[in-house]
Chain A
Amino acid sequence: MKTLLSLPSCFLAIALLTPSPAPAVEAAKPKIDTTRASARIDAALARHWKAKQITPNEKISEEVFVRRAYLTVVGRIPTYDEAQRFLTWQAPDKHARLIDQLLASDGYVQHFTNYWADILRAKSTGIGGNTTAQAYLDFIRDSLRRNKPYNQFVKELVTATGECYDNGAVGYYMRDQGMALDNLSNTVRIFLGTRLECAQCHDHPFDKWTQMEFYEMAAFTHNMTGTSYSSDALTAMQKAVKADKSIDKESQDLIRKAVSEATRPLRSTRVVERSNSMKLPHDYKYTNAKPKDVVPASVMFGKPVELKKGDDPIMEFGKWLTGPENPRFASVIVNRLWKQTFGLALIEPFDELMDNSVAVVPELQTLLEKQMIDSGYDMKAFLRVLLNTDLFTRASTKADLEPGTPYHFPGPVFRRMSAEQIWDSLVTLVSTQPDQPNWTLRETERRNRENRKLLDQILDATSPDLLKSASLKVADHMREQNKEFDRLREELDEARAQKDDARAKEIQRTLGSSQTVLRKTVSKSFFEAAKNSGDPEVTKLMAEACQDGDDMDMAMMNLMQDTRASYNDIEFDKATRAAIDAEMKQLKITDPKARASYEKYRKGLHQTWVRASELVSPAPPGHFIREFGQSDRDVIENANYEASVPQALTIMNSSITAQVVHPWSALSLTLGRQANTADKIDALFMTLFTRKATKDEKTAILLSLDAAGPDSKTFWEDLTLASLSTQQFLFIR
């Protein structure tokens, strides 16, 4: 695994463990010359400043630079060692080299996964089936890791069809299952910076778009449909059951239910492109057409698209959307990345472009679009250019931006860290391997996906007759279960009448487990059917399902249920092993029991103290990250940066921040390595704020330490928590 810590002299270098789904594939060689491109941006800005008589902000110190670079590219503050290494690094081109290292690291993938997940509203759970939701997030992660060209990334999203286990991009349409028109509004807003949602129901009141134009555009995309597992064999079986007069009505219902139980884990796992024609709504009120008229596909601007016979509408749409002739496609992405780097876009808001939208520095806007296109939509190459500008080395503006006044970029905009940046920065204080992947979660998701795929394949390969016999078995089981429900209800009534609470609870419990019993019957029956088919293909698949030597019943259940990977399965790799040994040596942990306990703690960190994008995402309501404004991902870019009392309470009083002063935390290890009190104060400041303490601060702190007594165990805890509950920790200067 590649990590950003492949810099010299860092013992924290290697992530706990590794199976990256895909190798980091860097573009062979960027198609644009970074130095020249950065210089052209600075020159354009300089001309603009001159014309507007703007004095740029002063240059920043190396301390501010390294903190800003880490936060901007990898989304967290640098660790003590990382900061020290940069500050003592003698290379004349160390800025450029640091930027390269950061862009090549996993930290970049983790940070920008949050960014794109907010834009694309990707969630780990709750979108159609969770399997699709997770595959979707994985698609984003993997695209960033490969540095997939932006135009290709977008085209893959908007043209995605198939099953989620083969193509995670289908999450893009599954996200808006049953809401094809909303989906189009979102597509046009995200990628073309154009607001169409008003025109869904009537002509746009503030912009020029008509409802007709909306429907013409939707004619390309409305057939993209999120759906569930189906197969010819299943359809044939259901037909046969319907035709079979010997099966009574009740059994027919039960059989339908049995099938729905067996395919439940495969709900909302596929996207297909249907071929219905687009019709105007029943209440269409304009004179240029009648309600329910069929609308041909047509694009709203740019190069016209004419669908010829045999053309696939969605592929033509994808080409148009991401094509070089689409004037707004490059506009939006350069503004996005500019804003990520400098805090404000050249056109605000860039997702509400109109014909008369003008960038604050028009020359720069044109230049950036050209650079983006010339680079082959290489997002990393483009970011590299921005990060190597003179602008990136200037101080951020120390005053509020005045509403109604254009911002001429004398420096970046001063802003609060995002919720994820705050959390990820805390992670660097707690974990010595802040960028390590959440192996358990990734592996659990991967296994579930594989299992669903196997289930899909096994069902595919089972004949209608065998499917029917399996369904009948399940139906029988349900019939028996109903009889038991009757009996239980009578018993429950009786128990209640006799005020026998224990008995009543017992009955409730039995009832509670009935669903599990039913699932077991379902999986058993359907897999037996598959086994009986004798098809060598099925036998092979079944063997695959049982490859870990699980017994057959268990393996079958696994394909239908959620499985769980355990962190006990993990072996530390060599470098991690060495790091842990060094840590234990420093902490003087020698006794085997204590060693085991430390190793357990270290393993545990990879599930809890990892980057926001390695956790369930978005975090559940009430989690630290949500408290600080992480987007719920229900609507596009819904994060917020508002101060709230629960935030202050969390920092000052929660068990979360108490972990920062745990004796085994990364910060405690750093402080423990310092020779004397003054160094310790500097190390604390360097770790939290990426700067040394000023003389005055040191004097005051030493005074306070004297008052507490030189042996005070609590002083460093208090100083650390005090440092955390400051504004300078939360804001990016």
Chain B
Amino acid sequence: MKALSNEPDRRQFMAGMAKSMLGVSMLPAAEGLLSSSAHAAGVGSSPLKQVPTTRNVIFLYMTGGQSHLDTWDPKPENKDVMGPTKAIKTSADGILIGEYLPRMAKQMHHATVINSMATNTAAHQQANYFMHTSFGLRSTITHPGLGAWLSVFQGAGNPALPPYVYIGNDSRHPGAGFFAKKHGPLMMSNPEAGLQNVRPQKGVTEERFNNRRDLAGLIDNGFTSEFATKDVKAYGDMYDNAVRLMRSEDLKAFDLSQESKEMRAAYGTDRFGQGCLLARRLVEHGVRFVEVSLGSWDTHTANFINVPRMCETLDVALSTLVTDLERCGMLNDTMIVVTSEFGRTPKINQNQGRDHYPIFSAVMMGGGIKGGVKYGATDKDGAQVAENKVTPPELNATIAYGLGLPLDQVLYSPTKRPFTVADKGQPLTHLFA
């Protein structure tokens, strides 16, 4: 979308204006101003840089806390922990996963499985926020999601489309955080609904639509010349860009009906499956960061009925996404990440459920990540990290490193607080092939 990318300086300008208009002295940093001065905030962040290994990220978020034991980190030796869940072999030597993911078992040669994820809280909102932003939830500031950092550093992949899309239902998604709104995700709850309002109202022909635009120009002529301010011009551009988008070929990116029936069925007909298909289309059209969420995995009750059900959806969509990206030759420059806010207790509770637990797993595929690798481990109960603990900032730093983002570049919030992407997490460079 043009206006999203074509007027980069408005908020910055407004912020600058507000600060400098009057008495208060101008302080050195405002939003968007890159500071190269060595500030305490940057200390400890990784100076590592590389040629990016991936252009795109498809981030699959398992809302509610996915049981690591029944999915990516089974303990076949330990019946007490596993309950009725069995482990199965996969296409990667030495990697076992839960039996509810049979299709993914055939794709694990593409994957690095991190079994040693550890977060710092077992409360949904806090842990979800930590995973998305690498920062603790505060009530004085909202930190940006990873896609927003990508947009700030590198702009939109396709200026006609939003830089970042979120497909799911989480109204608490941190989005652009303290960055300008244009860096935030376009939120889509229904992947099949397409982009909203890109067609004229019912019964409005092309001719009438054009007539409306002409009349609007006529009526607004006096006003726009009397008030020729930047804001008024920005709104003029906004209408022009909207009309351009309505006529743009890029709109097809959002149109799932362009896909064959077989392809749509292969991803699964549920929202998550169709969301993954949409993610592939968006990435093809230049949207570089797409998140799709699936939930809820919050299986306090009847874990062994609910997890298989959720896994079925995940297994169908994810295995198709991997093979589809491979088929289009896009798996090399598209990184798929599957993770959650936390895992579930090894102890099965009195309602045959599993409760919140700060240890969990993540899976990474494509975009330069090694295939068929297991990184880190939990102990025999899946209760403690036994080796190579990985925190959400480290996972995010690894993704950012793959995208070639500068991990040590300090950016300032409008409140002049200094931040770096992934909050000083160290990237796991050895996961890259």
Contact = CB atoms under 8 A, between A and B. Distances in A.
**Are the chains A and B members of one assembly?**
yes
Interface of A: 121, 126, 175-176, 179, 182-183, 185-186, 189, 195, 197-198, 206, 250, 253-254, 257, 344-349, 352-354, 356-360, 398-407, 414-416, 478, 481-482, 485-486, 488-489, 492, 507-508, 511, 514-515, 620-622, 629, 632, 634-636, 638, 640-650, 652-655, 657-658, 694, 697, 700-701, 704, 714, 718-719, 721-723, 725-728, 730-731, 733
A348 B186 CA distance: 32
Given A645-B3, A725-B216, A727-B235, 18 more contacts: A182-B138, A195-B415, A347-B23, A349-B24, A403-B21, A406-B22, A488-B302, A492-B305, A645-B2, A646-B186, A648-B242, A649-B245, A652-B200, A652-B239, A722-B215, A723-B219, A727-B236, A731-B231
A723 B208 CA distance: 14
Q: 8 tightest A-B contacts by CB?
A: A648-B242, A722-B215, A358-B23, A728-B223, A649-B197, A726-B220, A643-B238, A645-B1
B189 A622 contact: yes
Nearest to A685: B219
Contacts of B222: 694, 697
A704 B16 CA distance: 44
B234 interface: yes
B199 A653 contact: yes
B229 A648 contact: no
A179 B215 contact: no
Nearest to A661: B201
> Which of A356, A507, A621, A636: most chain B Cβ within 10 A?
A621
Interface string B211-246: 111111011101110111111101111110111011
Contacts of A649: 196-198, 242, 245-246
Given A349-B18, A400-B230, A726-B220, A485 B305 contact: yes
A348 B22 CA distance: 6
Contacts of B94: none
> Which of A206, A345, A704, A725: most chain B Cβ within 10 A?
A725
Contact of B201 (A349, A352, A658): A658
Interface stretch (B7-15, B149-157, B337-345): B7-15
B182 interface: yes
A714 B236 CA distance: 25
Contact of A404 (B20, B139, B229): B20
Given A347-B23, A694-B222, A485 B302 contact: yes
B218 A700 contact: yes
25 contacts: A183-B139, A206-B27, A254-B350, A348-B18, A348-B21, A352-B24, A401-B17, A403-B17, A403-B20, A404-B20, A406-B22, A486-B352, A507-B305, A511-B305, A643-B231, A648-B235, A648-B242, A649-B197, A718-B208, A721-B201, A721-B212, A722-B219, A731-B223, A731-B227, A733-B227
B236 A489 contact: no
Contacts of A206: 27, 416
B212 A722 contact: yes
A197 B209 CA distance: 51
Contacts of A344: 18, 21-22
B218 A405 contact: no
Contacts of B201: 653-655, 657-658, 721
B220 A728 contact: yes
A640 B181 contact: yes
A643 B235 contact: yes
A404 B7 CA distance: 21
Contacts of A728: 219-220, 223-224
Contacts of B182: 642, 644
Nearest to B232: A727
Contact of A401 (B21, B139, B219, B351): B21
A403 B235 CA distance: 21
B238 A354 contact: no
A643 B242 CA distance: 11
B141 interface: yes
A727 B224 contact: yes
B19 interface: yes
Interface residues on B, range: 35 or more
Contacts of A655: 201
B419 to A, nearest CB: 13
B35 interface: no
A714 B181 contact: no
Given A621-B171, A723-B216, A404 B223 contact: no
A642 B11 contact: yes
A353 B237 CA distance: 36
Contacts of B200: 652-653
Contacts of B428: none
B25 interface: yes
A182 B140 contact: yes
A650 B171 contact: no
B84 A405 contact: no
B309 interface: yes
Contacts of B14: 641
B301 interface: yes
A196 B308 CA distance: 49
A502 to B, nearest CB: 15
Contacts of B212: 652, 718, 721-722, 725
A722 B218 CA distance: 9
A206 B39 CA distance: 13
Contacts of B352: 482, 485-486
Given A206-B416, A620-B171, A697-B218, A482 B18 contact: no
B362 interface: no
Contacts of A360: 21-23
Contacts of B223: 726-728, 731
Nearest to A515: B301
Contacts of B211: 704, 718, 722
A697 B203 CA distance: 26
Contact of A646 (B171, B197, B226): B197
A398 B140 contact: no
> Which of A346, A398, A486, A721: most chain B Cβ within 10 A?
A721
Contacts of B234: 642-643
B64 to A, nearest CB: 15
Interface in B120-136: none
B237 to A, nearest CB: 7
Contacts of A648: 3, 235, 238-239, 241-243
A654 B21 contact: no
B417 interface: yes
Given A485-B352, A653-B201, A644 B230 contact: no
A728 B21 CA distance: 26
Contacts of B16: 403
A399 B19 contact: no
Given A347-B24, A478-B351, A652-B212, A727 B139 contact: no
Contacts of B19: 348-349
Contacts of B43: none
A360 B22 CA distance: 6
Interface string B285-305: 000000000000000011011
B25 A722 contact: no
Nearest to A636: B140
B202 interface: yes
Interface string B152-186: 00000000000000000001100000001110001
B405 interface: no
A654 B200 CA distance: 8
A725 B209 CA distance: 12
Contacts of B229: 398-400, 414
B22 A650 contact: no
